[in-house]
Structures are given as structure tokens and as C-alpha cells.
Amino acid sequence: MNIVLLGAPGAGKGTQAAKLVEEFGTPHISTGDILRAAVKNQTELGKKAKSYMDAGELVPDSLIIDLMNERLQEPDAAKGFILDGFPRTTAQAVSLDALLSQLKRPLDGALLVDVPFDAIVDRLTSRRCCKDCGAIGTVADASCPKCGGEMYQRDDDNEATVRNRLSVYERSTSPLIDYYKGKGLLLTVDGNRPVDTVYADVKALLDL
């Protein structure tokens, strides 16, 4: 299973990826995780990436691709991969295709978790987090359902910020949907349903 995850912030990509990892053991690879690991391990690429990050600049696509190449050749990725957060643009998708072609490990699909923006706004603005254990709940939870701790709303879960994040996503990342549709790789699942219902459809789409 070699897949790219697509979908707006709050669509539930991470939740579905976690279920795939739990059942199949396929590594869930995000650019953030790759960057943090490379910097922590002080690899040559990690040192280069850190110089950009310390300066508050975006890490160039070419460096991200080199890091991805390094990561995909680690032993756990032999059984496949779930890419999350990369590619973010069509240019990155073209670079990723070239890398996967070199590695002879083509994508099986680009899985789009599709949720209407209004539903995402409702979902994220009603989200609450536990101050003690970090568990995610909703506005209906007076205290943490896991540990009984105090619940709070994250600063970036207010409506104006959520709508801005969705607008950025629509401009920069949603063209990927057309890109993968054109390559016959787009698999779309309705993410505006219960988690287990969505997951059953995800497995059916991926022939798992």
C-alpha cells in the first residue's frame, strides 16, 4: 500500500491513517516527522533543513524530496507508506512521482477524505482539548472523557482562523485533487460520517 493522503485540515486524515497503521503496520510518514527526525539525528540533510528552519524559512522542495528519498528507503517502509502533508503542491507531486519512479515504487492511489468546509468549521470550532492528557473532546465535554481533566479550546480552533486555514488549503493544495484525478489515481471517500463507517469505505477503496 503506497498512498498519499489528501483532504482539508480537520477532515480526519490523521484519524484514518492511525487506523490503517494499527491494522496493517504501514508507516504513516509526515513531512513534519521526517524533518524532526533528521534534525534530531543530525544527518547531513537534517543539518541543512535546520538552517532553513532556524531562519524561519520554508525548507526547499528539493531538500524535502531528498529527505523523503532517505525515509522511504528505511526498512519499515518496505511494506509500503502513507504520505501525509506531502505533496502540498502540484510541483511537489511531480517531484514525488520522479522519486517514486526511480525507486520503482509507484503510488497505488491518492486518498481524498472529503468533508464540506462548513462541516469542518463546525467540527473544529467545537473541538476541545484536555489540559492534562491532551485528549480531544467536544464542547459537550464538561471535563476530559479520559482523565477528568479541564478542557480548553485551542487558539487556532476559532472560526476566523479555521476559515483562513481552509482558504489557504483551497488555493495551494486542492489543485492536487485535479492532478491525481488526471492520473487516474484519485480515490474519494465521504469523510462526513462516523469514523468506522469512513474506515470501512477506505479499506474497500484500497482493496484491503
The catalytic site residues sit at: 13, 88, 127, 154, 165
Strand partners, 188: 112
DSSP state of 140: T
Residue 193, marked binder: yes
Residue 144, marked binder: yes
Residue 85, marked binder: yes
**For residue 56, is it left (φ>0), alpha (ψ between -120 and 50) or beta?**
left
Angle at CA of residue 191, ends 188 and 197, nearest 5°: 100
Residue 10, marked binder: yes
Name the one residue in this structure whose C-alpha cell is 538552517. 51
Phi, psi of 150 (to 5 degrees): -80, 135
Residue 59, marked binder: yes
Residue 129, marked binder: no
The annotated binding site for ATP is made up of 10-15, 127, 193
The annotated binding site for AMP is made up of 31, 36, 57-59, 85-88, 92, 154, 165
The annotated binding site for Zn(2+) is made up of 130, 133, 144, 147
The annotated binding site is made up of 10-15, 31, 36, 57-59, 85-88, 92, 127, 130, 133, 144, 147, 154, 165, 193
